[in-house]
Amino acid sequence: MIVAVGQFAVTADWHENARLCVALMAQSARQDAALLVLPEALLARDDNDPDLSVKSAQRLDGGFLTLLLAESKSNRLTTILTVHVPTTQGRAENTLVVLREGKIIAHYAKLHLYDAFNIQESRLVDPGNQIPPLIDIDGIRFGLMTCYDLRFPEMALNLALAGADALVLPAAWVKGPLKEHHWATLLTARALDTTCYVVASGECGNKNIGQSRVVDPLGVTIAAAGEAPALLMAEIDRERIALARRQLPVLRNRRFAPPQLL
């Protein structure tokens, strides 16, 4: 299976961001990708207004996703990204959505909000309260995570024990001392914790690192981007998953149940 990972700098104009997403969807489909993973919080960003993502929140039937769903009708590509969806006045949920054949086939609100490194996502964003579902794409099962969820190994482990073969992670990983190191280390750790592929897309504006990656079940980075806009292509191999789980049977050798998320 070919997977695509798109990264770009989100603008303050949701129409422009939708156009960029549609272009990446079309390009991925032309290259026979079965899956495209896009970054986190794609409606709008502005370096001078950190609240713009929430201020620009749209319903799942809003204009942004309507444009992406129209493109989705033209192929069998599965596209994964996150947008802010309004909840109460001035607040929203950071919602991961899965698009396929013109429909939203799954969604979940980000569980772990980024209240760290002097940022407080929970100030305007409500956390989700449901563990995300697994998504089947051509017989490979994908577990869903969002950005800061990566720092919580029990989430990845719960998804793997539920049957995930790969983990998908839209992100907007904020720049800062050691943050690139954290990103690379945690992506590799989650792959090794679970013997899953990890497919991670990063927003690459002025405040976020980009650095999208695909990591295989034995912790090998098989595709990587830098700080500029990019579209990565990588192959997910069922036999590589099976080999990793024969050589490193950590899921089978566990002596303790993972902690419950909720």
Domain boundary assignment for the chain: 2-246
pLDDT of residue 199: 98
Residues of the chain with pLDDT below 70 are 262
In order, the DSSP letters of 93-139 are EEEEEEEETTEEEEEEE-SS--EETTEEGGGTEEPP-SPPPPEEETT
DSSP state of 208: B
pLDDT of residue 258: 76
pLDDT of residue 256: 85
The catalytic residues are 40, 110, 147
C-alpha 60: how far from chain center: 17
Q: How many CB atoms lie within 10 A of CB 26?
A: 15
Are the CB atoms for 82 and 97 separated by under 8 Å?
A: yes
pLDDT of residue 257: 78
Q: The pTM is what?
A: 0.96
Q: How many CB atoms lie within 10 A of CB 193?
A: 19
Residue 198: helix, strand or coil by DSSP? strand
Six token digits for residue 222: 């098989």
Closest by Cα among 211, 198, 203, 209 to 155: 198
Q: Which CATH superfamily is domain 2-246 in?
A: Carbon-nitrogen hydrolase (3.60.110.10)
C-alpha 170: how far from chain center: 2
Distance of alpha carbon 16 from alpha carbon 18, whole angstroms: 5
Distance of alpha carbon 140 from alpha carbon 238, whole angstroms: 8
pLDDT of residue 262: 67
AA letter at 90: G
pLDDT of residue 260: 72
